[in-house]
A = this chain, B = another copy of it.
């Protein structure tokens, strides 16, 4: 595809796996007929941003701009754009395009499309260049991958819904979490705290598992009916065989079998964190109770809009800690120590 006219916007980028992020100027394509140009107001900070910036998944091309929890205001629309107008408040998540024609795309499961274009780390065919994420003043996205943000939500607190929100909402919808069920959430971080809020809103009995006794009170404030300190063997044993569904939001190495044993028969444990090393899984807890260990990653565009609308109806947002753009490198270090309640969000007005 020929190279389009482009414009420049300020951003925070990194030039190598070992460099800090710093101010830079990047290219965006000028909006095509079907594009929406967005002034970015807030961008959430996902652990994936850090993995990507530091090339921990070994596919990063530099210079790299992370950020896929984007909330902003429409500043321009292409001539063919039907769904959005200048001035509207919108969001962009982990995907900015897909093939549009495969069965997955036609089913609204763009996250499985072999041609999916991620917000950062994919190829932007318009520019023949890697896609660059939301740590920037503006972004241009095809309208079908732009989402509406319900008017009643705080915009900064809504930003993490675009990744942490859909990542926890989607598996609970897929596996039909609802009233009468006992649901476990493992880990109280950016993902886990959203998991607690959604599981509670879906009507389940919610049990939060944490290694930190000092998180008990906050977990209950967020909606957990019970909190189990997972290092306490007696507390764990008391929960054996009682869960319909467990959402495991822990990326650090941990004993997955201890949680598999907490499931009822036909129960499902779903990983949404991504531990780097393979997890040793014992066959017997799976066999004897027909349990399942699954994984889930974000969601498709229709379900992401559904999640945002659900959040509007139920007034759900993330608990966030606002940072300036120039605090991002410190924020990464704090995130590595789980020192955030529960998601950093960059106020993009501070990128000047």
Chain A contacts to B: CB under 8 angstroms: 104, 109, 112, 171, 174, 257, 265, 268, 271-275, 278-297
Q: A265-B112, A274-B283, A278-B281 in contact; A297/B288 too (CB < 8 A)? A: yes
| CB–CB A294/B297 < 8 A | no
A171 to chain B minimum Cβ distance, whole angstroms, is 8
User: For A295, what are the chain B residues with a Cβ–Cβ distance below 8 Å?
Assistant: 283-291
Given contact pairs A274-B284, A285-B295, A287-B297, enumerate 17 new A-B contacts (beta carbons under 8 Å): A112-B290, A171-B290, A174-B290, A271-B283, A271-B286, A272-B287, A273-B283, A274-B283, A275-B283, A280-B281, A283-B295, A286-B293, A288-B297, A291-B295, A292-B294, A293-B293, A293-B294
| CB–CB A293/B281 < 8 A | yes
CA–CA, A285 and B278, complex, Å:
11
CA–CA, A295 and B265, complex, Å:
10
Partner of A282, one of B171, B278, B297: B278
User: For A274, what are the chain B residues with a Cβ–Cβ distance below 8 Å?
Assistant: 283-284, 287
User: For A292, what are the chain B residues with a Cβ–Cβ distance below 8 Å?
Assistant: 268, 292-294
A47 to chain B minimum Cβ distance, whole angstroms, is 13
User: For A109, what are the chain B residues with a Cβ–Cβ distance below 8 Å?
Assistant: 265
User: For A288, what are the chain B residues with a Cβ–Cβ distance below 8 Å?
Assistant: 295, 297
A196 to chain B minimum Cβ distance, whole angstroms, is 20
A97 to chain B minimum Cβ distance, whole angstroms, is 18
CA–CA, A174 and B286, complex, Å:
15
Q: A109-B265, A265-B109 in contact; A290/B280 too (CB < 8 A)? A: no
Scoring A278, A280, A297 by chain B CB atoms within 10 A of each residue's CB, the highest score goes to A278
Can you list 9 A-B contacts (CB < 8 A)? Answer: A104-B265, A272-B287, A273-B283, A278-B281, A279-B281, A287-B295, A287-B297, A291-B294, A293-B293
A286 to chain B minimum Cβ distance, whole angstroms, is 3
CA–CA, A344 and B52, complex, Å:
55
| CB–CB B112/A289 < 8 A | yes
CA–CA, A287 and B290, complex, Å:
20
CB nearest neighbor in B for A299 = B290
CB nearest neighbor in B for A295 = B286
| CB–CB B275/A278 < 8 A | no
A243 to chain B minimum Cβ distance, whole angstroms, is 15
Scoring A109, A171, A272, A290 by chain B CB atoms within 10 A of each residue's CB, the highest score goes to A290
A19 to chain B minimum Cβ distance, whole angstroms, is 26
User: For A283, what are the chain B residues with a Cβ–Cβ distance below 8 Å?
Assistant: 271, 273-275, 278-279, 295
User: For A280, what are the chain B residues with a Cβ–Cβ distance below 8 Å?
Assistant: 278-281
Q: Which 9 A-B pairs have the closest CB atoms?
A: A286-B295, A278-B280, A287-B295, A292-B294, A112-B265, A292-B292, A287-B297, A281-B281, A278-B282
User: For A296, what are the chain B residues with a Cβ–Cβ distance below 8 Å?
Assistant: 287, 290
CA–CA, A119 and B265, complex, Å:
21
CA–CA, A297 and B271, complex, Å:
23
A16 to chain B minimum Cβ distance, whole angstroms, is 24
User: For A265, what are the chain B residues with a Cβ–Cβ distance below 8 Å?
Assistant: 104, 109, 112
